[in-house]
Amino acid sequence: MALFDRLTNRNSNVFAIKMISYYSIMNYSLLDLPDAGNNLVVYMDITLNEEIIGRIFIKLFREVFPAGVENFYRIASNRTYRIDQKGFGNYKFNRERLRTYQGCKFYNLKFNNYIVSGDIYNNDGTSAGTIFNDEPIPADFGEYYYPHDSKGLLSLVPYLDERTGLLFYDSSFMITLDNVRPTNTLVELDSDQIVIGQIYQGLEVIDRINELIRPFAGRKYPDFRIGKTDVYRKGTTLRRLRPITRIERQRMIKNGCCSVKCECRLPGCLRCNTPCKCCLPSCAKCNIPCDCHLPDCNRCNIPCNCRLPDCERCNILCNEEY
């Protein structure tokens, strides 16, 4: 009996430790702010009508707004949850809801100014959240400040508490699309916005978004959303991914992949430098890997022999019909 008690207590302690470690990632406290360290980098895939158009890498400035940066960083890492209580009476239960930017829509787009996203719950700008039990983050800034003077800046969007007249911040953010000019309103953002990061790789994606939202009479804005997002860790290659289309995706599923091992494990099979011979449109049919992985494909110095739709602007004619 004593042995059974010891085993029971040991198992219960292990279970309790697991539960504590599990629920510790649900919420954090503003009084005991987590510290992810310096040199924080996250990446985001940007999609247009469910098709990836590129990837951006964002360097975060924790010294500017520690609480706001930690909130953005941990939501982008897809490791915090919100607990919603469902049911009534004896049938109550808890449901976990992942806090993530994946699938978030850019619901406010302004040509040559900015795009806004970050509503992790309703996707329309009415219900953002935080890792601090979804409580708003007060404007407790650090010693540094960056003006909204260039494109590719990541800035937190505040909201005004009508009762107190104070500004608070949450998961909502915006990305600037152009440098400050007399014709745009980026200067006005310095009054209440706070820059917490900057895109250092993938600015061509921002330029493409800006071109696609150019206003004209009767236009309907495209559906831009955030695809995969995660923390960039040291040891991985900082390289933009080449997009794939729905047709390419279907062909990949139908034909399968070749036996050449691809380290990236992403659809398309040649996002890494390993040459693939599976004849998928998103893999290079030639054996020369391309370092740029942009839709134009002619921005690198390596000539491509495949003449695929993604890289048909290369100067070398292709003998293979696509």
Identify the pLDDT of residue 281. Answer: 37
Which residue reads 């900082």 in tokens? 238
- 188 contact partners, CB below 8 Å, separation of at least 6: none
CA atoms of 72 and 231, how far apart (whole Å): 11
**pLDDT tens readout for residues 206-264:** 999 999 998 887 778 889 999 999 998 765 444 444 555 556 655 655 565 443 344 44
Instruction: Look at 268 and 173; give whichever has higher pLDDT.
Output: 173
**pLDDT tens readout for residues 132-174:** 988 999 998 887 889 999 999 999 999 888 888 899 999 999 9
Cβ neighbours of 138 (radius 10 Å): 14
Which CATH number is associated with domain 16-232? Answer: 2.40.100.10
Tell me the one-letter amino acid at 35.
Answer: D
Instruction: Look at 68 and 260; give whichever has higher pLDDT.
Output: 68
Determine the length of the chain: 322
Cβ neighbours of 76 (radius 10 Å): 25
Reduced to 3 states, what is the DSSP secondary structure of residue 18?
Answer: helix
User: Furthest-apart CA pair in the chain: how many Å?
Assistant: 81
Q: Mean of the pLDDT values across residues 27-49?
A: 88
Q: How do strand 51-60 and strand 194-201 relate by DSSP bridges?
A: antiparallel
Burial per residue of 82-96, b for 16 or more beta-carbon CB atoms within 10 angstroms, e otherwise? beeeeeeeeeeeeee
Would you kindly state where each structural domain of the chain is located, as residue ranges? 16-232
User: What is the sign of the dihedral through the CA atoms of 217, 222, 223 and 224?
Assistant: negative
- 35 contact partners, CB below 8 Å, separation of at least 6: 66, 70
Among candidate residues 46, 77, 67, the one with its CA nearest the CA of residue 232: 77
What is the pTM assigned to this prediction?
Answer: 0.65
